Structure 1
Amino acid sequence: MGSRDLVSSEVAAAGSGKRENEPNADNFDYDGCLRACAAGDKSALRALYLRESKQLLGVVTRIVRDRARAEDVLHDAFVRIWRRASTFDASRGGGRGWVYTVARNLALDFVRGAGKHSGSEHQAADDEIDSLADPDDTSRWLEKVGSSHWGGDSARLQECLEQLEPTPRACIFHAYVNGYSQSEIGDLIGAPVGTVKSWIKRSLVALRGCMG
């Protein structure tokens, strides 16, 4: 059975199951689930779908702006998750964030690709995507936010930004540069809103401490 057929089968099985059997977010082991997928455990893929498909569909729909197309993208995302689960590296971030990154990147690829073939239909979405700052590009913080709030030392601010852990840095970038709400950031990186809020707060404290 090919990857696409396997995912379709597991999605159908998950959809026909009882929702009360949905994995509990408080004890769901995302990293372990991805390792199980990498080992060929179909039940792990089904559990992941039950746990995250509804929220992931919301994230993808906001990007592609069409529910039917979003469902197709989500299906492709789970195909990619299944195929590439072995590439997940827990030392670079949590499993949930990795899953959301896969889905979001596919959605962005879809919008960019559709825009090439449909003229202005997707131009607004494409422009919006192109305007977003990459969390790893600290120069965009300086362009959009400036350094005056931090004492005017742009070089020092860039050094301090680069000292932050990648995920907390991404949170403050999306909040202050891309203008996302904490809820949207949570959807984007696959983390609870409370965790996002905590990361933003700690990152700002660390920045102020670093800047002196």
Structure 2
Amino acid sequence: MPKVDYALMYVTDDSIKEDNSFFQILEAALKGGATIIQLREKSCDTATFYKRALHCKTLCNTYKIPLIINDRLDIALAIDADGVHIGQSDMPYDVARRLMGNSKIIGLSVSNKYQAVKEDAKSADYIGISPIFSTNTKTTDLAEPLGLSGLKEIREFYKKPIVCIGGIHKDNTKEIIANGADGIAVVSAISKADNPEAATSELKKIVCKTGTN
């Protein structure tokens, strides 16, 4: 598998139902320096999800940025996405790996240190600490925020990439990276920004500058 840059993951905003706006923001994120895209759709039908995924794949290919699909292995397989991101209640990791193959990215959400020490987490290509801080983007089934102390605790024993999501913005990105994360995943910090491309670029600079210190 080629080396993946997890510095800045833009997780698409499924509250944006209008396709033109949705894809304008996605392309702005790509232009601004997002290093990986996660397509997340929690409420649309399969046909709509598939069409969005195809368009996302075309855009990501243009910018040579990997696209992963949240939860839906069938969509990921249908469009030959670069990988999937699964949660604790989604398809088991070993099944996802068997279906996706060894060349694809598989990320796993963890919300505490006990999930991070399990074999699934060790086998995944990266873990997503979710949530790191409180967030309004996902309103159901959220665990208590792990915070920087939880991140530091997991970083001590988890050797693969860690991406944090939840309540992340330009003012707390530096401390997340400084405390051991390899990257951040954001939704509204980009999708709700007045200038999504500039917002992406600013986040990317903070991540890269902090990561080299």
Same fold (TM over 0.5): no
- Higher strand proportion: 2
Relative to the length of structure 1, the TM-score reads: 0.29
- Higher helix proportion: 1
Structure of larger gyration radius: 1
Relative to the length of structure 2, the TM-score reads: 0.29
Higher relative contact order (CA 8 A, sep 6+): 2
